[in-house]
């Protein structure tokens, strides 16, 4: 019986979902309808006798929260992807553990030999 109620409340709030789908760069109508169903289930689990206006407001608030969360998210990118202004990827900036600077190696060997000779 509860699944029928959720479907009915989501259909009642379809104009709210459609307006969000048109006016925001969020996902499509189906994704927003799923968010609305989650909002309805949350309200009905807390207040089984909630009226339709309260549930519509809860759906609206949930969609606003989803929109705000999407605005706060930091865009992610792959570290292996090349930057647009650089012609390099992350491998060019991370030194290889097998590569040694020849000058640093000579200085290290001299310091090592000087330390052994001093002892």
Please give the model's pTM, rounded to 2 decimal places: 0.57
CATH of residue 110: 1.10.1740
Residue 40, CA distances (Å) to 7, 53, 58, 96 in order: 9, 12, 7, 54
| pLDDT score of 84 more than 80 | no
- Over residues 23-48, the pLDDT tens digits come to 877 667 888 888 899 999 999 889 88
Give the integer Cα–Cα distance in Å for 68 and 32: 14
Residue 9, CA distances (Å) to 39, 43, 66, 85 in order: 10, 11, 19, 49
- The total number of structural domains in the chain stands at 1
What local confidence, expressed as pLDDT, does residue 58 receive? 92
What local confidence, expressed as pLDDT, does residue 1 receive? 42
Give the integer Cα–Cα distance in Å for 87 and 33: 42
**Host domain of residue 54:** 1-119
What local confidence, expressed as pLDDT, does residue 95 receive? 60
């Amino acid at each position: 019986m509860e699944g029928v109620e959720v479907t009915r409340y989501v259909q009642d709030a379809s104009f709210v979902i459609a307006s969000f789908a048109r006016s925001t760069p969020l996902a499509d109508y189906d994704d927003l309808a799923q968010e609305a169903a989650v909002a309805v289930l949350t309200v009905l689990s807390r207040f089984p006798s909630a009226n339709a206006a309260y549930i519509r407001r809860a759906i609206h608030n949930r969609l606003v929260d989803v929109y705000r969360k999407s605005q706060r998210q930091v865009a992610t990118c792959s570290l292996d992807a090349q930057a647009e202004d650089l012609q390099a990827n992350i491998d060019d900036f991370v030194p290889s553990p097998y590569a040694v600077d020849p000058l640093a190696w000579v200085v290290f060997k001299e310091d090592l030999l000087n330390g052994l000779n001093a002892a």
